[in-house]
Structure 1
């Protein structure tokens, strides 16, 4: 609910603060007094696109602030949470327009974009009037309005879910078909490559192992002769034998040497032990260096075959096992593809059937709701002196989508037998106003705290018709808050809260002011609306009669 509006330096308003109440709030005043400027200013702070030049002449910037009450279940709270903005019981919007045209906006003292303001405005304000392309005159919103009237939220939600499931099934089928088509294009290659790789059967780490074995065998061939010579030099025919002989000869002479050979004998004993260990190690190495030349040839053939296969498929040799598994998997997909496609096609058909069922049910619900809406609007038109007018909800088949398969348009004919057409094109100004009001009265439900604004919706009507318009505005206001800009005394007389908009000249500058009216002031204002500038006692009496009727 809109609680207040603070306007500074906008067009011909220097400073204006208004406080609004629940129920029917009415703004009256002479043509050109500035009533439309109030709506322009409110639209500015709500992010609506409007006039380019809004800053008052001589001011550096214009500023508008609006504040709203937000009940616990108000849909604006969800928008605030989605945008990461503070959520409080009071919502304060503030927007500044510099003389150079730069616009800056805040929501609850947090900077935001104009797009965020527009999202919030959709939950806060409804504007209805002859030039409103955001509300009832916009055909793109007629289907949603019909769904709300028919309480079709559940069916519409199930249709959206069914469409989502159908879209996902179709996408899965398309992806599978594309993948299978790509695999089929390389089927010959896959079969040949898989056969080659399975015949070769490369193992993980095999290339590195074969390369190590090959280098060892190649090295053994080069050093084996030298190792064999070393074995001979260390053995009984070489150093070990000579050291043994020396040991034997010295032992025969040790008794006569008076201890002079003890150290030599000890060193020779140690040397014989080391020579024996060295000879053993050399013999062991010589045994390990023994290889079959055929084994080297086979190792090289296997190693070269693996490397050649890797080059052929442009992968690293160590990646061949993984590559072979991937090709095998793709070939398996090809062989399994037809069965998988069959299952996916069945899933699409099932999803399509479910969508058809829910979309058809939604269409039936809409047609039933349309019949009830047409009858309800027709009943509302009679008191508005349009008993011969025809209102109808027209259906056209649309492409399947998340909202079903219906295009919905509200059309009118002002006289029986006349061709019907869109509201804005067929009806005159006064007729259009009454059509819009009748439609809004029928469509009004739980508005969730939204403020409805009617901009001269009673234009072109008077007398009993204007009274009927006013009483329907009162009916709508009973559900929350209605703000009406009007020239009709019959409508103004029914207001719960009344403001007069006036224009004055101060220091050769035109300014607009808005004054809240008490009971006596209201009598004079309504009398002025009835009689013009000269307010007579008869006009006051007539105004009093309207207010008490």
Structure 2
């Protein structure tokens, strides 16, 4: 329940506080005083779009605060967004500036859609826009669904969940099917590349090894001359005619020279040992040089094979990477991509099975929804007709026609249309075409009264619910609003005294004009002040005794019927 509303610098309202209680509260005032700002302020608390033009002239921002009592479910919703409940109430805040709008729930700033989600289940605003919405088949279906009850709404939620799941699956399936050719082309290219690489069987670093071997084979003659010269210098040349000195021979002479004095001097013996080591080392080198010379072979066939192998490897690097390591890395990625592409076909099969399962589930749920709607349609139409009789439309006929859609949609397989006729001589037609503005207001009120049985603790706000009516019809509207207020909190902005007289509380929006700026405030009236306001509303003659007497009589009659 809404307990308090504060409005500051919104439209013509400077700073006003309205206290609400249970039951029926009416808000009245002269034309242009700012009555609608009460509804506009509540709309902002429900996450409605902020019009920066509503910020009062000369003010930097507009502020709307509302206090709402909580129950267990509402407390949980507030706690879920991090808000704080003060006792049994939560504070809702909306601030509008020229450049931005902010909302808070329980002291915590929240996005506007979240504000609407948290508060929207507690407060419903009905204005002229709601009358227009009632003319749509979507809204008419929502009304019927609300009447059917919680079990039906749970089935509808399950249907919507399944519908969303099917839509996601079909979208993914369509994308996979659309891309099938592209996947086939990609798969063929990957398989061809992997086949080339597998056939070549490259090894990491193989190209560098082959380049080194090729360079060695191409320089065989130079390498042979160098190794031969080194070997001759170390061990001499058996084919030489002269006896040229060589390193191993000279070391042998040195060893023999030192061996003669080694027994006499330990230091000389140590030097002899070192010469021995050098001789052994040079002997090893000479042996390795001899083996090296024996292994050197120009082998033109080998060189030709290397050239061919390098050409093969270069073909791979041209297509799959700058180096052989990059080619091998590409092959690893390609193998992974092939697995993914092969898995797409499996995914298509999974999605087709999922869509088929959803279709079966949706068909069953849709049938349940259709049956529930058709079962409830006649009862709801009958109850609304009874209310319309009391609203001075005794000959009106209203029915909820449930027909099948060409194809199921996100709300089921049904189209719901309210058919209406105000007079027996005219055939029922869609409500949006058949009802006048005043008739549409009464149909909407009749629906709310019928649906109110399941709205304990809810707050209904009506703006201009009495548009286009007057006299006895206005009295019946007042009675029906009072009846609705037995089950829920009702706030009505009205210009008819016949409606205002049924309120449990009466607030008046009054304005003051200093010649430059119009300022409005809100105050509660009772007793003589309320009689004066009702007299003004009826004839604009609040000062005459006749007007006051009529107003007092109207107030007494309404009080006796509440």
Task: Go from structure 1 to structure 2 and tell me whether the alpha carbon gap of 1:324 and 1:277 turns closer, same or farther (over 3 Å shift).
Answer: same
Q: Is this contact kept in 2: 1:243–1:268, CA < 8 A?
A: no
Residue in structure 1 matched with residue 446 of structure 2 by the alignment: 438
Q: How far apart are 1:479 and its partner, in Å? A: 3.1
SS in 1 for 2:466: coil
What is the rounded CA distance, in whole Å, between the counterparts of 1:331 and 1:7 in structure 2?
A: 65
Q: State yes or no: 1:198 paired with 2:198.
A: yes
Which shifted more, 171-180 or 158-167?
A: 171-180
Task: Go from structure 1 to structure 2 and tell me whether the alpha carbon gap of 1:139 and 1:336 turns closer, same or farther (over 3 Å shift).
Answer: closer
Q: State yes or no: 1:107 paired with 2:104.
A: yes
Equivalent positions of 1:149-168 (< 5 A) are 149-151=147-149, 152-168=152-168
Residue-by-residue CA offset, 1:379-433 (whole Å, 9 max, x unaligned): 3222222232222334462654433344444342222352545545432333222
Residue in structure 2 matched with residue 368 of structure 1 by the alignment: 375
- Unaligned runs of at least 5 residues, structure 1: none
Residue in structure 2 matched with residue 305 of structure 1 by the alignment: 312
What is the rounded CA distance, in whole Å, between the counterparts of 1:350 and 1:522 in structure 2?
A: 64
Q: Is this contact kept in 2: 1:93–1:107, CA < 8 A?
A: yes
Residue in structure 2 matched with residue 469 of structure 1 by the alignment: 477
What is the rounded CA distance, in whole Å, between the counterparts of 1:38 and 1:282 in structure 2?
A: 110
What is the rounded CA distance, in whole Å, between the counterparts of 2:28 and 2:519 in structure 1?
A: 16
Residue-by-residue CA offset, 1:164-197 (whole Å, 9 max, x unaligned): 3323432443344344312434676566545433
Task: Go from structure 1 to structure 2 and tell me whether the alpha carbon gap of 1:363 and 1:38 turns closer, same or farther (over 3 Å shift).
Answer: same
Number of corresponding residues? 540
Residue in structure 2 matched with residue 141 of structure 1 by the alignment: 139
Task: Go from structure 1 to structure 2 and tell me whether the alpha carbon gap of 1:517 and 1:135 turns closer, same or farther (over 3 Å shift).
Answer: farther
Q: How far apart are 1:126 and its partner, in Å? A: 2.0
Q: How far apart are 1:324 and its partner, in Å? A: 4.0
Q: How far apart are 1:71 and its partner, in Å? A: 1.4
Q: Is this contact kept in 2: 1:159–1:403, CA < 8 A?
A: yes
Residue-by-residue CA offset, 1:186-227 (whole Å, 9 max, x unaligned): 676566545433322234454455455556666777535433
Residue-by-residue CA offset, 1:123-162 (whole Å, 9 max, x unaligned): 4532223454686455543333333322322222222232
Residue in structure 2 matched with residue 380 of structure 1 by the alignment: 387
Task: Go from structure 1 to structure 2 and tell me whether the alpha carbon gap of 1:284 and 1:73 turns closer, same or farther (over 3 Å shift).
Answer: farther
Q: Is this contact kept in 1: 2:52–2:99, CA < 8 A?
A: no
What is the rounded CA distance, in whole Å, between the counterparts of 1:343 and 1:94 in structure 2?
A: 48
Equivalent positions of 1:72-87 (< 5 A) are 72-73=71-72, 78=77
Task: Go from structure 1 to structure 2 and tell me whether the alpha carbon gap of 1:96 and 1:169 turns closer, same or farther (over 3 Å shift).
Answer: closer
Q: Is this contact kept in 1: 2:187–2:338, CA < 8 A?
A: yes
What is the rounded CA distance, in whole Å, between the counterparts of 2:348 and 2:112 in structure 1?
A: 48
Task: Go from structure 1 to structure 2 and tell me whether the alpha carbon gap of 1:221 and 1:509 turns closer, same or farther (over 3 Å shift).
Answer: same
What is the rounded CA distance, in whole Å, between the counterparts of 1:509 and 1:194 in structure 2?
A: 82
Residue in structure 2 matched with residue 546 of structure 1 by the alignment: 558
The counterpart of 1:535, out of the listed 542, 545, 550, is 545
What is the rounded CA distance, in whole Å, between the counterparts of 1:36 and 1:311 in structure 2?
A: 76
Q: How far apart are 1:484 and its partner, in Å? A: 1.1
What is the rounded CA distance, in whole Å, between the counterparts of 2:172 and 2:416 in structure 1?
A: 32
Residue in structure 2 matched with residue 91 of structure 1 by the alignment: 91
Residue in structure 2 matched with residue 65 of structure 1 by the alignment: 64
What is the rounded CA distance, in whole Å, between the counterparts of 1:502 and 1:135 in structure 2?
A: 31
Residue in structure 2 matched with residue 244 of structure 1 by the alignment: 252
Residue in structure 1 matched with residue 240 of structure 2 by the alignment: none
The counterpart of 2:400, out of the listed 393, 399, 404, is 393
TM-score w.r.t. structure 1 length? 0.80
What is the rounded CA distance, in whole Å, between the counterparts of 2:296 and 2:452 in structure 1?
A: 98
Q: Is this contact kept in 2: 1:5–1:66, CA < 8 A?
A: yes
The counterpart of 2:504, out of the listed 491, 496, 500, is 496
Task: Go from structure 1 to structure 2 and tell me whether the alpha carbon gap of 1:17 and 1:212 turns closer, same or farther (over 3 Å shift).
Answer: same
What is the rounded CA distance, in whole Å, between the counterparts of 2:512 and 2:85 in structure 1?
A: 40
What is the rounded CA distance, in whole Å, between the counterparts of 2:256 and 2:512 in structure 1?
A: 142
Task: Go from structure 1 to structure 2 and tell me whether the alpha carbon gap of 1:203 and 1:379 turns closer, same or farther (over 3 Å shift).
Answer: farther
SS in 1 for 2:487: coil
Q: How far apart are 1:463 and its partner, in Å? A: 5.9
Q: Is this contact kept in 1: 2:94–2:104, CA < 8 A?
A: yes
Q: State yes or no: 1:345 paired with 2:349.
A: no
Residue-by-residue CA offset, 1:346-405 (whole Å, 9 max, x unaligned): 443333333333334333333334333323322322222223222233446265443334
Q: How far apart are 1:452 and its partner, in Å? A: 1.2
Task: Go from structure 1 to structure 2 and tell me whether the alpha carbon gap of 1:52 and 1:316 turns closer, same or farther (over 3 Å shift).
Answer: same
Which shifted more, 229-238 or 148-157?
A: 229-238
Equivalent positions of 1:192-271 (< 5 A) are 192-211=192-211, 222-235=222-235, 238-248=246-256, 251=259, 254=261, 266-271=270-275
What is the rounded CA distance, in whole Å, between the counterparts of 2:516 and 2:195 in structure 1?
A: 98
Equivalent positions of 1:447-466 (< 5 A) are 447=455, 449-461=457-469, 465-466=473-474
Task: Go from structure 1 to structure 2 and tell me whether the alpha carbon gap of 1:347 and 1:489 turns closer, same or farther (over 3 Å shift).
Answer: closer
Q: Is this contact kept in 2: 1:451–1:481, CA < 8 A?
A: yes
Q: How far apart are 1:492 and its partner, in Å? A: 3.1
Q: Is this contact kept in 1: 2:475–2:498, CA < 8 A?
A: yes
Q: How far apart are 1:482 and its partner, in Å? A: 0.8
Q: How far apart are 1:435 and its partner, in Å? A: 0.5
Residue in structure 1 matched with residue 127 of structure 2 by the alignment: 129
TM-score w.r.t. structure 2 length? 0.78
